[in-house]
A and B are shown apart, each in its own frame.
Chain A
């Protein structure tokens, strides 16, 4: 993988930095640290579902999708997603939430989003899905 970044230098010029593997098939030292700012999502079991912490984006949404599918297949049709620890969610996460909601409602269950943070609440609002999803404040 090669990553090229051009950033302003202090003297008004620009500096271009190319980060590339130091050795073939090796992970470059400069990129190894970038893993620390990669997306993280923790999914913990809660009383009626999952307690989430971190970011739900295109990279982590499949993890949530898998967890929700496993819970549904186990027969748990009423599921809570505690979102108070979710600092970011994008349309990928929203699609998983909507699909899970529809799947659960199809078997007379539901998915409840508990205590979404302001950024998650705004995403739901601007997407026009506020009336379609079940949202609850922190109990």
Chain B
């Protein structure tokens, strides 16, 4: 986290890598998306994507905690996730298929899992 990030509307959350906490993360994502006027479909997509990344992290027994940032701007939310220690989050084929379908997944190999969800034009 950099200083300028601390003055924006970003939400940073560090969670124990436990599947029961995925629900907490989904609620936060839904809240941020609703604030941006996301449609119901957009919200479903964002919730699913955030969830898939988190449960992929939680299924890796070698890491205890997951750091996730959700950064909203005018019409989109960028999400980054990583283990609090080191190491990228392993995503299996099904998770990748889902993410590629519902969000814009950045597949650059920089140790971060990163995607964005842009609000579609429609009735929220």
Contacts and interface: CB of A to CB of B under 8 A. Distances in A.
Interface residues of A, number: 33
A34 B28 CA distance: 12
Nearest to A6: B12
Contacts, number: 95
Contacts of A58: 19, 22, 55, 58-59
> Chain A's interface: helix, strand, loop or mixed, by majority?
mixed
A91 B7 contact: no
Contacts of B59: 58
A28 B13 CA distance: 18
A128 B97 contact: yes
Interface stretch (B46-54, B104-112, B116-124): B46-54
B38 to A, nearest CB: 13
Interface in A44-102: 55, 57-59, 88, 90-92, 94-95
A5 B11 contact: yes
Interface of B: 1, 6-16, 18-24, 26-27, 40-41, 44, 47-48, 51-52, 55, 58-59, 94-95, 97-98, 101-102
7 contacts: A1-B16, A4-B12, A8-B11, A38-B20, A38-B24, A91-B98, A118-B40
